[in-house]
Amino acid sequence: MRTNYRENSGVQFRMLSEDQLEELFNGVLHVLEYVGLEVKHERAREVLKEAGAWVDGDRVRLPSYMVKDALAKAPRAFTVYARDGNPKHDIHIGPGRAHFGPGPTCVNFIDVETMERRPYQLSDVPYVAKVVDSLPNIDFCESLGSVDNVPYDLSALYEFAEMFRYTTKPIVAWSFDYYDSNAIHRIAVEEAGGQEAFEKRPTYIHYCEPLSPLISTTDSLNKLVFAAEKRIPLIFTPCPLAGGTAPVTPAGIIIQAAAESWMGLTIAQNIQPGLPFIMGGVLSVMDMSSMILAYGAPELSLMMAGITELAHYAGLPLWQTGGCTDSKTFDEQAITEGSLSVFFSALTGGDLCHDVGYTESAMTGSVFQLTAMDEAIGYARRITRGIEVNDDTLAVDVINRVGPNGHYLKDEHTRRYYKSEFWLPNLCDRTSFEDWKMMGEKSFKDRTVARVQKILAEYEQVPLKPETETLIEKVLEEAEEWVKQQED
Amino acid sequence: MSEILSTISTLVIEGNFADMVDKTNAALDEGLGAEEILNNGLMPGMDHVGVEFKAGNMFVPEVLRSAKAMQESMNIIRPLLAEAEAETSGKVLLGTVKGDLHDIGKNLVGMMCEGAGFEVVDLGKDVEPETFVEAVKEHKPNILGMSALLTTTMRAMERTVKALEEAGVRDTVKIMIGGAPVTQDFADQIGVDGYAANAASASEMAKQFAG
């Protein structure tokens, strides 16, 4: 029994002080109250007006009590479930829990056989889903691409159906608009056993993006309203570029991004109080030479840490970003940028860290980068788990038992703890030079490729219910018809 | 070379747009022709900026100031160039396609093209195919540039090309496209003349098309 004894569970990381966070928080409220946003959605404007917002044409300003009210309604902790009931694949969102997964909608993909960069195909989705399903440190699924070889409006729908088949881990689903959002939801509801069952155990998160600076676009709000009505956990994440579509300073971009996300929060909580809401967005610099959003910049990690702390201060989970790179190939830059950003993301406890496996500044998805980052996340997680201090781990009695000139290898204390205290690498090599030479002088890259191949060869599918498969066929057929009608 | 032309080059390089109107008028007062100001004052300055940008010694915010300085001068000399029927770079028509509200990339292209001496007509964002068609008929540009940031909106580029074909004006312009999801393959697929990966290469491409 101890008195006034304080324990740190895991590594403590904190960048901003309480005072600084309060400044940021009030900055966001100020932007929402005095600047406002363009809300390009009639129903959303009506909902907001009804709840007390000032509406002037498209421009909507929110009195701060409305935002605080929405923040109070949104849960800080909730669970997104594995579709097959496997508790190991559930995601418990809450303080101190960082999760990782890939990102959506890259145009290109690194072919898993040839390792060449080419447009993303429907047949790539199962590869990504299987790798996600198998990697121990990847917690949720996105597909790392937008499918090139199906009717354009249906690429998100086809992608979802394929992901749903090949992983039981929770999915983060993007979509174009109302039609495909609804079709995706029908599939998930069928597998869950009805809308009510889905609401109790949601298996996917709905993803939408407002536009920077300060615009809630029609399509993003069509999707937000849909998710709110169906009570689907929601990510509302802008993608501002510091110096381009947002202030150049980290504090400034954080405030703007938060205002953009909280407009969505306020709409959603007024439609569906208590809707699980994950705050965005992706914050980085606009590279002032290439004009791209830099996915490997140190400022990305820094800004993401800042907005994560603001989200947690306000009582929301955050859509983190990491494991991504600006490199065009699977090289030292890719691993350095990816590893540092996942480590930093893990330190912040940012709730869902996405874009793991992005290369070429989000233009090209790679399961090789994803698999390499699984190793980096494992490494990072061992560090953030920290050091446990108790009578048993202090091991004073063990030290006494072994004494000077003994060894600990045979001690039961060592046997009991080494598997949980030591991180076991999958890809990092610690063999002797001779063994390494004998094994064929494999590089980290070689071992990563081999691991991907092994995963794909050994993967075992947990099938969907037969009725879900039937529904998928039906939904896709109807969707193909719908596309034809749209074209006519 | 006259001192005032060298001053104008320096103003472009420094991005000093505040002094540009005075110095351009001073050059005209000295009896220099508009064409001379363009070719021996503004363009050498902008060429220097282009080289320094490519070398990584200048960055987009500085290049934009330079482009603005150039534009200040062009506003004065453009009517004179037209009067003298002097050869200019040509006209670029720009727009972000229907359904897309992202315009920072397109704006950069516009400023870079102005910096390269083009007259730029910017139709803004969320531009209907029909609006592009009307604007091509009205402004008779050498080059049409279309931009889209979203995979969801890039198809509007194809629809715009079709609308131009149907209106019989497709072959009056060179079409270039750009935006994050746009690729050379996509450009080939929809039958446009060029794809530019960023604003700097877009203005280079415009120069090639106009030249």
Q: How far apart are CA A43 and CA B162, in angstroms?
A: 34
Higher pLDDT, A299 or A9: A299
Q: What is the pLDDT of residue A481?
A: 97
In this structure, of A114-123, A288-297, A421-430, A438-447, the range with the lowest mean pLDDT score is A288-297
CB contact under 8 A, A291 and B108: yes
pLDDT in tens, A422-469: 999 999 999 999 999 999 999 999 999 999 999 999 999 999 999 999
CA angle A136, A138, A142 (to 5 degrees): 145
Residue to test with chain B: of A155, A288, A293, most B Cβ within 10 A: A288
Both tokens assigned to A89: 């694949």
Q: What is the mean pLDDT of residues A362-391?
A: 96
- Taking the Cβ of residue A142 and every Cβ of chain B, the question of whether any pair is shorter than 8 Å is answered with no
Q: What is the mean pLDDT of residues A143-153?
A: 93
- Taking the Cβ of residue B167 and every Cβ of chain A, the question of whether any pair is shorter than 8 Å is answered with no
Check pLDDT > 80 for residue B208.
yes
Q: How far apart are CA B137 and CA B194, in angstroms?
A: 21
- Taking the Cβ of residue A94 and every Cβ of chain B, the question of whether any pair is shorter than 8 Å is answered with no
CB contact under 8 A, A107 and B102: no
Handedness of CA A14, A19, A25, A31 (dihedral sign): negative
- Taking the Cβ of residue B55 and every Cβ of chain A, the question of whether any pair is shorter than 8 Å is answered with no
- Taking the Cβ of residue A405 and every Cβ of chain B, the question of whether any pair is shorter than 8 Å is answered with no
- Taking the Cβ of residue A119 and every Cβ of chain B, the question of whether any pair is shorter than 8 Å is answered with yes
Whole-prediction pTM value? 0.93
Strand order in the sheet with A54-56: A54-56, A59-61, A37-39, A215-216
Helices (H), A108-249: 124-134, 155-166, 178-192, 195-200, 218-230
pLDDT in tens, B166-188: 999 999 999 999 988 888 888 99
CB contact under 8 A, B104 and A245: yes
Three-state DSSP at B177 gives strand
Minimum Cα–Cα distance from B101: chain A residue: A211
Q: If pLDDT is split at 50, 70 and 90, which confidence band does A260 have?
A: very high
CB contact under 8 A, B101 and A217: yes
If 0-12 CB within 10 Å is exposed, 13-18 middle and 19+ buried, where does residue A341 land? buried
Q: What is the mean pLDDT of residues A22-51?
A: 98
Cβ contact A253:A273 at 8 Å: no
Q: Which helix (H) or strand (E) holds A277?
A: strand A277-279
Check pLDDT > 90 for residue A39.
yes
CB contact under 8 A, A288 and B183: no
- How high is the mean pLDDT of chain A? 96
Instruction: Using an 8 Å CB-CB cutoff, list chain B residues near A222.
Output: none
pLDDT in tens, B60-95: 899 889 988 998 999 999 889 888 877 777 899 999
Q: If pLDDT is split at 50, 70 and 90, which confidence band does B1 have?
A: low
Residues 6+ apart with CB under 8 A from B5: B27, B32, B36, B37, B40, B41
Would you tell me which residues 280-309 of chain A have a C-beta closer than 8 angstroms to some C-beta of chain B?
286, 288-292
Instruction: Using an 8 Å CB-CB cutoff, list chain A residues near B53.
Output: 289
Check pLDDT > 70 for residue B156.
yes
Three-state DSSP at A203 gives coil
